[in-house]
């Protein structure tokens, strides 16, 4: 079955602390994975794609096929990173996880 799992509904950290938002997937094919972000009162938007292997706003995500994971990481969290984060798997359509709310306290 095609599935995306985000085990944490809420992740709270202090400013400057490292952040890791977990994402695991289940897919028999070659996965294409993405992270989306929704800031307060803003629209859901694409944050990054695994295939581009780039860092966006200090965030990176590495696809680990052995562990079927695509965790989102940032070494030093900022208050403006507080948002809802969704991991998504692209099959012939996007399958989203349940999301993790990141709260960064000052």
Partner 1 sequence: DAGVIQSPRHEVTEMGQEVTLRCKPISGHDYLFWYRQTMMRGLELLIYFNNNVPIDDSGMPEDRFSAKMPNASFSTLKIQPSEPRDSAVYFCASSLTGASYEQYFGPGTRLTVT
Smallest gap from residue 6 Cβ to partner 1 (A)? 8
Pick between residue 64 and residue 98 the one whose CB is nearest to partner 1.
Answer: 98
The residue ranges that bind partner 1 (CB under 8 A) are 6, 9, 32, 34, 43-46, 49, 86, 88, 90, 92-99
Which one, 73 or 101, has the nearer CB to partner 1? Answer: 101
Q: Which is nearer to partner 1, 19 or 88 (CB)?
A: 88
Rounded to a whole number of angstroms, the minimum distance from the CB of residue 98 to partner 1 is 3
Residue 68, phi-psi category: left (phi > 0), alpha (psi -120 to 50), beta (remainder): left
Let me know if 66 is exposed, middle or buried by CB neighbors in 10 A (0-12, 13-18, 19+).
exposed
CB of residue 3 to partner 1, shortest distance in Å:
11
Q: How far apart are CA 44 and CA 104, in angstroms?
A: 19
CB of 79 to partner 1, least distance (A): 23
- Which of 25, 33, 22, 23 is closest to 3 using CA atoms? 25
Give me the phi and psi of 9, to 5 degrees please: -80, -30
Neighbour tally for 72: CB within 10 Å: 22
Measured from the CB atom, is 78 or 96 closer to partner 1? 96
């Amino acid at each position: 079955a095609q599935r995306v799992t985000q085990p944490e509904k809420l992740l709270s950290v202090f400013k400057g602390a490292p952040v890791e938002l977990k994402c695991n997937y289940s897919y028999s094919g070659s996965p294409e994975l993405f992270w989306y972000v929704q800031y307060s009162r803003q629209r859901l938007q694409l944050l990054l794609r695994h295939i581009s292997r780039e860092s966006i706003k200090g965030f990176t995500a590495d696809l680990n096929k052995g562990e079927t994971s695509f965790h989102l990481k940032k070494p030093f969290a900022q208050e403006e990173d507080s948002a809802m984060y969704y991991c998504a798997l692209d099959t012939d359509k996007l399958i989203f996880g349940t999301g993790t709310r990141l709260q960064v306290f000052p």
